[in-house]
Chains A and B, each alone.
Chain A
Amino acid sequence: NAGVTQTPKFQVLKTGQSMTLQCAQDMNHEYMSWYRQDPGMGLRLIHYSVGAGITDQGEVPNGYNVSRSTTEDFPLRLLSAAPSQTSVYFCASKTAGGNEQFFGPGTRLTVL
């Protein structure tokens, strides 16, 4: 099993550009989520999904969109990037009945 995979590993955007961060998992986990990690702050939840076709907002959802058309994939879209979105983004997944989350390797995003 590859676990949770994320692409790209690094990305530089200009203000106003759009992009999609990809996340996939091969563990058949029902729950998937996106976090951002900033210096001096704990991981903060952006959006999560409890299954295909079902998404919900987390703590810091503004500026981000998600959709979940398959169990395996959970892309995160930035429609108009802002410097405040410069961060490291992690995707995580878990089973519906479990509590332990498993994280991907992260995407480091810089918005100029």
Chain B
Amino acid sequence: QQPVQSPQAVILREGEDAVINCSSSKALYSVHWYRQKHGEAPVFLMILLKGGEQKGHEKISASFNEKKQQSSLYLTASQLSYSGTYFCGTEMNPGSARQLTFGSGTQLTVLP
């Protein structure tokens, strides 16, 4: 079951904040966040495991709400380099197979 990402696209000015959401109708074990620039490989940002853990990476942080089966990615004081498409990949079962199901992506554009 593909997770649902929102919004589909967002345009910001440098220095502004953004939130990207990733929701699943199924119970999640983990959520993986990636950023992809056009024509390039997805780059790993962070993993969140169930338990409401919050993680940070520079000025990018994320949370995982187990009750809602939702993860949110927070981008603070956006920089031009943050532009790209953000994907969440969700995993439902722990253990032997790391099958990630990716959302359709959120296109983030940061303008000067």
A and B co-occur in one complex: no
